[in-house]
Structure 1
Amino acid sequence: MIAAGLLLLAVGAADLVRQFAPRRWIGYLAVVVVLLLLGSVSDALLPTAAALAVGALWVWSMPDDRPTPLGFWPAVLLALVVVGAVVWLPSRVESGLIGEVWVLRSPFGDVPFDLAVLALGAAVFLLESSNLVVRAALDGEHTWRPVDARAERSGPPASAPAALTDGESPAAPRSGFQGGRLIGPLERMLVLILTLATAYPVLAAMLAAKGIVRFPEISRDGETGARAEYFLVGSLVSWVIALGAAFLVWWAAHS
């Protein structure tokens, strides 16, 4: 379980560095140092080293400034590795030095350190890494994209749009607000929290409300159905990632 959490944490942290760090090499170095410290105090240096290697491969195979060279497959392989790590590597009895002082209580009981790392890794992955996965899915399906008016005025873009989320525009030209990068992660975090809290009616209402809000735009789609396809592919992939993360944490907590 600790291996799965470290994998998701390394990948998610690397993508956050790529998106927000002004100097990426400093951010990457900080991620390496923090993860190595975490692995040393939790007696998990080998899984930490493997997680850092997977994070480096992820950065190479899932670029944030152009279409992915390997398509959707890096995300599929990562999902298989993480699921396998949770299923075949259960929570450890001893968690190294930090296990001697670790205490985290919740309404559902005490939370082991390995489970806490897995939940943290899943949450971090849902922020920016999932944006890249959704973009890879949209690229693979060649779905319609919202047109950036600024790019349209200056000519065809030199590269693919920035990472997309659940069907929102990567750069909303009408308002200048990049809502997709914020709406997608917030939505996935809500799906994760509501699913783990078994608040299924609230979850269903939230997902239905999103469809209602987007209906006027989709209804102007015309005969091609491109807007509806874009919305459905992006939204469904985003929801599957969030629900999969929630199920993974649930499985780990009950195994």
Structure 2
Amino acid sequence: MIVAGFLLLAVGAADLVRQFASRRWIGYLVVAVILLLLGSVSDALLPMLAGLVVGALWVWCMPSERPAPLGFWPAVLLGVLSIGAVVWLGARTDAGLIGSVWTLRSPFGDVPFDLALLTLGVGLFLLESANLVVRAALDGEHTWRPAELRRLVPDAAETSPAVGEPRDAVVSGEAPDESAPAESAAAETTQAETAAAGIPASDPRAGFKGGRLIGPLERILVMILTLAAAYPILAAMLAAKGIVRFPEISRDGETGARAEYFLVGSLVSWVIGLGAAFLVWWAAHS
């Protein structure tokens, strides 16, 4: 269990550093120090070192500025390693130095340190790392086709990024699992649209990136509702997403790109949320 916790914690923290830190090397150093402290006080130096190695490999295999060279297979391998660590290694009887002072109570009983670390790692992974996984899955299924995009949005050719410009310059409106290709390209015309709507360019609404917030929130809700056995609420939430997107998908035309984009992105995102719930549930009952 502790191995899976450190793996997911390192990967999730590294992706948050890549997304939000202005100086990444400082962020990576802080993450490494925190993991070193956690590994020292919990008598888990080897799992901590494994987490650092896997985190470094993840940053190389799953870049945020360009398509992943290995597709989403690094995510599959990470999932297999995490599930194997939880299912086969199980829980430890001794949590080291922190085990003697650790106390965390919940409505369901005491929460061991290893379980708390795993839950934290799962939560961090669902934030930004899962967005990269969904994007890699969409790239692997070729749902992002510039030719189709130009047919859907005539101005798409003029909104393509310049050489060396990050991909998010085009996919800036929403994360891949929460938008259609036409929306992603149309995000580049945000300034003109907001000006026509009377919204100043300095207004925060002019650059609102809803997809980067909707995706993580959706996955966290899927995990929480699954763990709480609130299946009717979970089904209603997933159905509501389809209803909200239906008018947009119904205008898909002959290409089918929007429906394909929505289905692949949503299904991958839900599988990640359900997999996270399974990890925490199994760890809590092992």
Shared fold (TM-score, shorter chain, > 0.5): yes
Within 1, Cα distance between the matches of 2:155 and 2:53? 38
Within 1, Cα distance between the matches of 2:42 and 2:95? 5
Q: 1:154 to 1:238 in 2, by over 3 A?
A: closer
Amino acid at match of 2:178: G
Q: Which deviates further from its counterpart, 9-18 or 194-203?
A: 194-203
Larger radius of gyration: 2
Query: What per-residue deviation string (whole Å, max 9, x for no partner) do you get for residues 11-57 of structure 1?
Result: 00000000000000000000000000000000001100010000000
Amino acid at match of 1:46: L
Q: Which residue is 2:178 aligned to?
A: 167
Where in structure 2 are the equivalents of 1:91-170 lying within 5 Å? 91-144=91-144, 152-155=157-160, 157-158=162-163, 161-162=167-168, 164-168=175-179
Gaps of 5+ in 1: none
Contact in 2 for aligned 1:115/1:253 (Cα 8 Å): yes
Q: 1:126 to 1:170 in 2, by over 3 A?
A: farther
Q: What's the TM-score, normalizing by structure 2? A: 0.84
Shift of 1:176: 3.5
> Does 2:29 align with 1:33?
no
Within 1, Cα distance between the matches of 2:104 and 2:155? 49
Identity %: 75
Query: What is the RMSD of the two structures over their aligned residues, measured on CA atoms?
Result: 2.0
Q: Which of 221, 224, 231 is equivalent to 1:200?
A: 231
Q: Which residue is 1:225 aligned to?
A: 256
> Does 2:75 align with 1:70?
no
Q: What's the TM-score, normalizing by structure 1? A: 0.94
Q: 1:152 to 1:178 in 2, by over 3 A?
A: farther
Shift of 1:209: 0.5
Shift of 1:170: 5.6
Within 2, Cα distance between the matches of 1:27 and 1:66? 21
Instruction: Count the aligned residue pairs.
Output: 255
Higher helix proportion, which one?
A: 2
Within 2, Cα distance between the matches of 1:29 and 1:45? 17
Within 2, Cα distance between the matches of 1:52 and 1:24? 15
Gaps of 5+ in 2: 191-205
Contact in 2 for aligned 1:165/1:238 (Cα 8 Å): no
Within 1, Cα distance between the matches of 2:121 and 2:77? 17
Amino acid at match of 1:236: L
Q: Which residue is 1:209 aligned to?
A: 240
Contact in 2 for aligned 1:167/1:233 (Cα 8 Å): no
